[in-house]
Amino acid sequence: MNQQHQNERTRIREAMDRLLTGQATTSNGSLTVVALAAEAGVHRMALLKRHADLKNEFYERVRRETQQVPESEKRLRETITKLKKTIANQRAEIEDLHHQVTRLALAGAVLTQELKGQADPEPASDNVIPFSRLTT
């Protein structure tokens, strides 16, 4: 591990401490990765790619020390809830469509059977076939 990498890790850990104690100096003080990166003076992608372990450590400390759920986790949980509702609605719609298909197939079979049971009427002309009247 080179010196620059080690310096970044040190700055990130110091920034964690400042954010968790509410003493942010260069960020808005929110308990997010964006604020942590700003507070540490590192690019957010560096924090997410090179120092993913520190990002996870930060979120674990947020949970443990502040008894809060990180904002990103809240958003993910909301998205999961919306997706579960969407899936439930789609399943209900698919079930309804299956029932409709079954009913239509049965209706088609009944109509086909009724047509086969009737005597074939003579066509009125070469290209016209009259419909038989249904009795109700």
Q: Is residue 134 part of a domain?
A: no
pLDDT of residue 1: 64
- The answer on 86 and 42 residing in a single domain is no
The domain of 60 spans 3-68
Please list the pLDDT of the chain residue by residue as tens digits (136 residues): 688 888 889 999 999 999 988 888 888 888 888 999 999 999 899 888 889 999 999 988 888 888 777 777 888 899 999 999 999 999 999 999 999 999 999 999 989 888 887 755 555 567 776 677 766 5
Q: Is residue 109 part of a domain?
A: yes
- The answer on 95 and 109 residing in a single domain is yes
pLDDT of residue 5: 82
Q: Is residue 131 part of a domain?
A: no
- The answer on 61 and 16 residing in a single domain is yes
pLDDT of residue 14: 92
Distance of CA 13 to the CA centre of its chain: 33
- The answer on 64 and 91 residing in a single domain is no
Q: Is residue 127 part of a domain?
A: no
Strand, coil or helix: 79: helix
